[in-house]
Chains A and B, each alone.
Chain A
Amino acid sequence: MRTLLTTLFFSSMIIAVQAQTTLTGLVKDSKTGEAIIGANIFVKGTYDGASTDIDGDFVFNTFKKDTAIILISYLGYETQEITQLLHSDTLNMEIHLVAQISELDMVVITAGAFEASDEKKAVILRPLDIAMTAGATADIAGALNTLPGTQTVGEEGRLFVRGGDAYETRTFIDGLLVQKPYSSSVPDLPARGRFSPFLFKGTMFSTGGYSAEYGRALSSALVLETQGLANESITSISLMSIGGGLGHTKRWDKSSLSVSADYTNLKPYISLVPQNIEWEKPVSSYSGQAVFRQEIGTNGMLKAQASVQSSGMTMLYPDMNQVEELLPLSLDNDNYYANASYSEILNEKWSLDAGFAYGYDKEDIIQDFELHRTIDLLQGRLKTTYYPNDQITIKMGSEWMREQFDESYRPDEDTSFETNLKSNYSAAFAEAEAYLNPKLAIRLGVRGEYFGLLKEWDVTPRLSVAYKSGTFSQFSLAFGQFYQQPEFDALRYGAPEKPEKATHYILNYQYTRKKRVFRAEAYYKQYQDLMTYEADQPWILDNSGEGYAKGLDLFYRDQELIRNGDFWLSYSLLDTKREYRDFPELAAPTFASKHNFSAVYKHWLGKINTSIGLTYSYASPRAYNDPNTDVFNEGETAAYQDLSFNASYLTNLFGQFTVLYCSVTNLPGFDQSFGYRYSASPDENGLYTASQIEPPAKRFFFVGLFISIGQKFEN
């Protein structure tokens, strides 16, 4: 008995003595060979281990015997497991840890796209950048106009991309096309976007070569992704120099609802600030909006939103036939928009997105003529995404749209021209994105489209490739074909045989280092099958138009150089000509300028809780057509310059978080002129009389107070 106990006792002692092993060595970065300080190295299942010292060295003892698993871990590196036979007294090891591949080390497909997101790391912009750009007054198109690839067209307010007309840029919300993303406006008076930048958590602005997911846009896709669940219950009040608004958001555990109403009226403002326009009834508008979010299960999200807008104005406007003569012109607009989308991650390999949207827009324009126009768009979309592994993503989907356009034009009381057009559109797409390795990515897509009104089928290929050429630099290229049906107001007298077509070729270089980004993009865009007609015989139409746009876009952003400061510079060089609509020949269009330059600066003054911003824009002269000369589009506008300023002061009013915001455009008072408008017919001397197109006022001042009554930091 005693022997048994003794044996047990001694054998355990012997085991303990025998098992003592000293492990020593060095931990290094597998790539750079640099010592790793503070790495954790230990024997799995025991407390035995150590941290590496300042030279990357470690030493520790272990009682573990025979086979041991040694773990080495360090933040930002792959944890390594080494199976080791512990036999000798001292064991020397050299360990090479492999750095984890972070999102920032991966190549990204960037050709043609500017993306703003808080969720992704490798993006150039943040959603707040869009909301806070001076000169844009929280207008999405205004902010995007400071990016390269866009042309400043001061009298329009819409996006013109790479020599494309405004209609060639389409807006998508949660994948669904928006028929009327801008407020209604008369010619020469800039429009604003209907949607506030604060509604979106992600913005992808493509200036070309975009994904097969999107169609019906010859030049550009602006893809907006709405916010998810509201963060908290909050009431917001806005008091502005041009109106006011009230909103309330209620957050429940798995759902949220926001309701808001706004009223704007420019009358008080216009009575204070001299205008180039004689207003009879300045712009006023009512709008209401509801946004609902519901989480369904653990991986499903239902998003629904609806908005109503009603606006009206009356101003003195040149008579079409006699431009020196001003006649009251009124514009009333009603716009309804609703969409609902559902997305769910079905399992590790599949996800589903489905959406429906309905939009309705009604315009009534009355001068010495009457024009009544309604347009509605109903659409559905279904998309599935398949992730066979970490490197490959495959998207497949289809969409369907039905549009109705009704117009009644009455040049006088006895005459009336009616246009009623129905248009169906359906499309199916498939696209695969593959990371062949962390340095090389490829995206290959195809889209089949049917244009019901034109009875035309098309299949379009899309391709993007990106290659990471260095730690901080990468090249991308993109190719794609895009089809678009001409706008309804061009289809009054008949439809051409085919949709218009554009082919994009893009080469992009991007250098990103910490908070500095430089990118250069060269492109060539070819237009084919553009719709053309005789200037005075719009019913003689065909697809014989063509054109091209080529150029270079440069962008530099630096958030490091100036403490608390952030700036970006954009330059676009554009060479474009086209023959479309009533152009008699290949000519530079009136919206294209050869050089566009923008500089955006933002600075945070911490001491006074104020953020200030400055935006400078320059656009070289654009063409306009003077019918008194023989050469088409030969006139040249003056160059355009603007310097805008904004400031937001963050404070606390009645214990509630408050922002006081003010902005002014054209601070130095540059002369801005956008060419001339000519009478539709010559006067008795055979001359077409002209009136100058200029901004409605030299400067636009804006002051607003935004109060958020939210959850207080109290128990």
Chain B
Amino acid sequence: MKQLTLFIIAIVFSISSFAQSEQYINAMEGALSQMKEAEEYAAFKQVSNVFERIGMAETTEWLPSYYQAYCNMNMAITQMQEGDMEACVAHLDKAQSALDQANERVESNSELVAMQGYIYQGRIWSDPQVNGPVYAPKSMQALQQAIQMDEANPRPYHLMGQNLYFTPAMWGGGPQAALPHLEKAATAFENFEPVSSIYPSWGEAFNTRLLEQARKKLEAAEKE
């Protein structure tokens, strides 16, 4: 009887822990499909809230906070496009604090370091004249480190390419400079296999679009 009770208790525990991790994966998958659809500020806000909730419940998982950082980067972009720099900076700060939380929960990895490089890029958008000289080298350094940590990760190449694409030519940017990085990213995206269904896999669609645009612009420039 005693043994049986122990057995039952063991089963109940394993079921509950299994159920919990399944619940976690289900919730993450749900949120990620929501994130894929998101285009506008409000949608990113919603899904960022979902990640915040999951992150608060699962205090040892780093992915919820990582995605929360990513959502805030997207919100920072929409705010920047609307010219609300104060809100843009607030989202950059939030992205940084979410990333800091992710970093506390897991040993550093290529995705986290790439996200750090991305946030540094965001600092440049908010005040290019002042922040450019400080954060451009920091971002570059982080993205290079992310490549060193995992050469197969397409996101650091993508972020480098994206940043160069939008950087004026006089500062060494433009489509020509961006092209090799976007191409590298495209190859890496093709060969990239996420560790799991909830592991980072974002960036491919935008990379393809930027690559097309960059090629078009270069062709147009050649014709002239």
B137 in contact (CB, < 8 A):
yes
A417 in contact (CB, < 8 A):
no
Comparing B111-119, B169-177, B190-198, B207-215, the segment that makes contact with chain A is B169-177
Judge whether B49 and A47 touch: CB under 8 Å. no
Judge whether A713 and B167 touch: CB under 8 Å. yes
Judge whether B45 and A51 touch: CB under 8 Å. yes
B4 — which chain A residues lie within 8 A by C-beta? 1
Interface string of B2-31 (1 = CB under 8 A from A): 001000100010000000000100010000
B134 — which chain A residues lie within 8 A by C-beta? 231
B205 in contact (CB, < 8 A):
no
Rounded to whole angstroms, the CA-CA distance of A652 and B57 in the bound complex is 51
A47 — which chain B residues lie within 8 A by C-beta? 23, 27, 50, 53-54, 57
Judge whether B46 and A657 touch: CB under 8 Å. no
A669 in contact (CB, < 8 A):
no
- From 149 to 165 in chain B, residues with beta carbon under 8 angstroms from any chain A beta carbon are 160, 164
A33 in contact (CB, < 8 A):
no
Interface hub of B56, B134, B138, B173 (most chain A Cβ within 10 A): B56
Interface hub of B12, B45, B53, B130 (most chain A Cβ within 10 A): B53
B177 — which chain A residues lie within 8 A by C-beta? 713
A305 in contact (CB, < 8 A):
no
Judge whether B170 and A657 touch: CB under 8 Å. yes
CB of A247 to closest CB in B, whole Å: 15
Please count the residue pairs between chain A and chain B whose beta carbons lie under 8 angstroms apart in the complex: 80
Rounded to whole angstroms, the CA-CA distance of A1 and B42 in the bound complex is 54
- From 337 to 359 in chain A, residues with beta carbon under 8 angstroms from any chain B beta carbon are none
Q: A75-B90, A712-B172 are in contact. Are A232 and B27 (CB under 8 A)?
A: no
Judge whether A715 and B137 touch: CB under 8 Å. no
B52 in contact (CB, < 8 A):
yes
User: Which of A1, A49, A712 touches B49 (beta carbons < 8 Å)?
Assistant: A49
Q: A40-B49, A651-B170, A711-B137 are in contact. Are A75 and B91 (CB under 8 A)?
A: yes
CB of B91 to closest CB in A, whole Å: 7
A38 in contact (CB, < 8 A):
yes
Least CB separation from B48: chain A residue: A40
User: Which of A42, A51, A73 touches B46 (beta carbons < 8 Å)?
Assistant: A51
Rounded to whole angstroms, the CA-CA distance of A117 and B165 in the bound complex is 30
User: Which of A50, A126, A231, A652 touches B172 (beta carbons < 8 Å)?
Assistant: A652
Rounded to whole angstroms, the CA-CA distance of A150 and B94 in the bound complex is 42
A586 in contact (CB, < 8 A):
no
Least CB separation from A656: chain B residue: B172
Judge whether B57 and A655 touch: CB under 8 Å. no
Rounded to whole angstroms, the CA-CA distance of A563 and B52 in the bound complex is 38
Q: A40-B53, A44-B56, A231-B137 are in contact. Are A652 and B169 (CB under 8 A)?
A: yes
Q: A38-B49, A40-B53, A609-B168 are in contact. Are A128 and B129 (CB under 8 A)?
A: yes
B140 in contact (CB, < 8 A):
yes
Count residues on chain B whose CB falls below 8 Å from chain A CBs: 39
B144 in contact (CB, < 8 A):
yes
Judge whether A40 and B94 touch: CB under 8 Å. no
Rounded to whole angstroms, the CA-CA distance of A50 and B50 in the bound complex is 8
Rounded to whole angstroms, the CA-CA distance of A600 and B57 in the bound complex is 55
A713 — which chain B residues lie within 8 A by C-beta? 140, 160, 164, 167, 172-173, 177
Rounded to whole angstroms, the CA-CA distance of A48 and B52 in the bound complex is 11
Interface string of A694-705 (1 = CB under 8 A from B): 000000000000
B169 — which chain A residues lie within 8 A by C-beta? 652
Least CB separation from A76: chain B residue: B90
B188 in contact (CB, < 8 A):
no
Judge whether B8 and A711 touch: CB under 8 Å. no
User: Which of A8, A71, A650 touches B56 (beta carbons < 8 Å)?
Assistant: A71
CB of B70 to closest CB in A, whole Å: 15
CB of A35 to closest CB in B, whole Å: 14
Rounded to whole angstroms, the CA-CA distance of A657 and B167 in the bound complex is 12
Rounded to whole angstroms, the CA-CA distance of A714 and B147 in the bound complex is 13
Judge whether A5 and B172 touch: CB under 8 Å. no
CB of A51 to closest CB in B, whole Å: 5
Rounded to whole angstroms, the CA-CA distance of A38 and B137 in the bound complex is 35
Rounded to whole angstroms, the CA-CA distance of A175 and B12 in the bound complex is 68
Rounded to whole angstroms, the CA-CA distance of A126 and B160 in the bound complex is 29
A46 in contact (CB, < 8 A):
yes
- From 72 to 97 in chain A, residues with beta carbon under 8 angstroms from any chain B beta carbon are 73, 75-76
CB of B85 to closest CB in A, whole Å: 10
Rounded to whole angstroms, the CA-CA distance of A8 and B11 in the bound complex is 12
Judge whether A609 and B170 touch: CB under 8 Å. yes
Interface string of B28-62 (1 = CB under 8 A from A): 00000000000000100110011011101100000
CB of A27 to closest CB in B, whole Å: 12
Interface hub of B137, B138, B160, B173 (most chain A Cβ within 10 A): B137
A118 — which chain B residues lie within 8 A by C-beta? 130
Judge whether B90 and A652 touch: CB under 8 Å. no
A51 — which chain B residues lie within 8 A by C-beta? 45-46, 49
Judge whether A657 and B172 touch: CB under 8 Å. yes
CB of B144 to closest CB in A, whole Å: 7
Least CB separation from A39: chain B residue: B49
CB of B132 to closest CB in A, whole Å: 10
Judge whether A75 and B94 touch: CB under 8 Å. yes
A650 — which chain B residues lie within 8 A by C-beta? 170
Interface string of A209-239 (1 = CB under 8 A from B): 0000000000000000000000110000000
B173 — which chain A residues lie within 8 A by C-beta? 713
A655 — which chain B residues lie within 8 A by C-beta? 172
Rounded to whole angstroms, the CA-CA distance of A232 and B91 in the bound complex is 27
CB of B149 to closest CB in A, whole Å: 14
User: Which of A38, A49, A76, A652 touches B53 (beta carbons < 8 Å)?
Assistant: A49
Q: A47-B23, A51-B46 are in contact. Are A42 and B170 (CB under 8 A)?
A: no
User: Which of A126, A609, A651 touches B130 (beta carbons < 8 Å)?
Assistant: A126
A686 — which chain B residues lie within 8 A by C-beta? none
Judge whether B140 and A711 touch: CB under 8 Å. yes
Q: A231-B134, A657-B172 are in contact. Are A38 and B46 (CB under 8 A)?
A: yes
Rounded to whole angstroms, the CA-CA distance of A463 and B197 in the bound complex is 63
Interface string of B69-91 (1 = CB under 8 A from A): 00000000000000000000011
- From 1 to 21 in chain A, residues with beta carbon under 8 angstroms from any chain B beta carbon are 1, 4-5, 8
A651 — which chain B residues lie within 8 A by C-beta? 170
A37 — which chain B residues lie within 8 A by C-beta? 42
Rounded to whole angstroms, the CA-CA distance of A713 and B163 in the bound complex is 10
Rounded to whole angstroms, the CA-CA distance of A46 and B58 in the bound complex is 8
B133 — which chain A residues lie within 8 A by C-beta? 231-232
Rounded to whole angstroms, the CA-CA distance of A685 and B160 in the bound complex is 82
Rounded to whole angstroms, the CA-CA distance of A310 and B8 in the bound complex is 90
Rounded to whole angstroms, the CA-CA distance of A4 and B6 in the bound complex is 13
CB of A43 to closest CB in B, whole Å: 9
B181 — which chain A residues lie within 8 A by C-beta? 715
A187 — which chain B residues lie within 8 A by C-beta? none
Q: A47-B53, A609-B168 are in contact. Are A232 and B90 (CB under 8 A)?
A: no
Judge whether A42 and B56 touch: CB under 8 Å. yes
Interface string of B87-112 (1 = CB under 8 A from A): 00011001000000000000000000
CB of B214 to closest CB in A, whole Å: 14
CB of A617 to closest CB in B, whole Å: 25
Rounded to whole angstroms, the CA-CA distance of A46 and B53 in the bound complex is 7
Rounded to whole angstroms, the CA-CA distance of A557 and B147 in the bound complex is 45
A297 in contact (CB, < 8 A):
no
Least CB separation from B147: chain A residue: A715
A128 — which chain B residues lie within 8 A by C-beta? 129-130
B144 — which chain A residues lie within 8 A by C-beta? 715
The 6 closest A-B pairs by CB, nearest first: A40-B49, A232-B137, A38-B45, A652-B170, A42-B53, A51-B49
Enumerate 14 A-B pairs (CB-CB under 8 Å) in ascending A order. Answer: A5-B8, A40-B49, A42-B49, A42-B52, A44-B57, A48-B53, A73-B52, A75-B91, A76-B90, A232-B133, A609-B170, A652-B170, A657-B170, A713-B177
A-B contacts besides A40-B53, A231-B138, 4 pairs, CB < 8 Å: A1-B4, A40-B49, A231-B134, A652-B171
Residues of A bordering B, CB below 8 Å: 1, 4-5, 8, 37-38, 40, 42, 44-51, 71, 73, 75-76, 118, 126, 128, 231-232, 609, 650-652, 655, 657-658, 711-713, 715
